[in-house]
Amino acid sequence: MVARRDALVNLASLLRSTRGSDDEVFEEGLLEPGEESQIADDVHLAEPLEWSLTARRTGGDDEDFLVDGSVRGTAVLPCRRCLVDVPVDVEAEFFYLMRHRQSDDPAIVLAEDDDVAEDVLEFGQPVVDFAPLLRQVFAIDVPLTALCREDCKGLSLDGVNLNEHPEAATPADEGTRTPSPFAALGDLKVED
Ligand SMILES: [Zn+2]
């Protein structure tokens, strides 16, 4: 089976079904990086994202659904010391309340809901394009920085990669590896 290359999910059976039948829609596929392979400054995707999701009825209001799933892939970031590309595997999970609100707009909208004090995904059409959401969920879990290896020697003041040319190091370059007050910031990772 050739995996699909988008993230269009048809929720019509959920919208139609009476309670007890077709209470769940499971879909999975690949999502091409496409023109949006650039997910942040200096960060891009090398290959398609793998995603899966399950949408189900809540059992309460007929217009309310739950969706959960995961999106996996490899982000490519520049090493924070020597700037070579570093592949970083990322797996992000998500869970949202979804609400059907009739509209001609096929996009899903992340709306604030004061009643439940969290964001609700509103969709207006039975076929929902999850691609923007999946990309966003993935991007949030990409670390801010990466290292090509723990002992990366970085660049010399002349811009020479000292991993490849350690002989190019000068006493001045040794000085650049003295921990700066901001060094710890490089290891910060955004948690959601
Ligand atoms: Zn490096």
Q: Delimit the domains of the chain by residue range.
A: 8-149
What span, in angstroms and rounded, lies between the C-alpha atoms of 145 and 142?
Answer: 9
| Average pLDDT over all residues of the chain | 83
Give the SS3 label for residue 117. coil
Mean pLDDT of 45-66: 86
| Sequence-distant (≥ 6) Cβ neighbours of residue 9 within 8 angstroms | 25, 27, 53, 55, 127, 128, 130
Helix (H) or strand (E) holding 133: helix 131-140
Distance 149 CA to ligand 1 centre (A): 6
Distance 17 CA to ligand 1 centre (A): 54
Confidence of residue 185 (pLDDT cuts 50, 70, 90): low
Residue ranges of E strands in the chain: 8-10, 24-31, 38-40, 43-45, 49-57, 64-78, 85-100, 109-113, 118-123, 127-129
What span, in angstroms and rounded, lies between the C-alpha atoms of 155 and 159?
Answer: 5
Distance 86 CA to ligand 1 centre (A): 8
Distance 144 CA to ligand 1 centre (A): 15
pLDDT surpasses 80 at 2: no
> Which pTM does this prediction carry?
0.78
Residues 5-17 have pLDDT tens digits of: 889 999 988 887 6
Helix (H) or strand (E) holding 149: none
Distance 177 CA to ligand 1 centre (A): 13
| Sequence-distant (≥ 6) Cβ neighbours of residue 182 within 8 angstroms | none
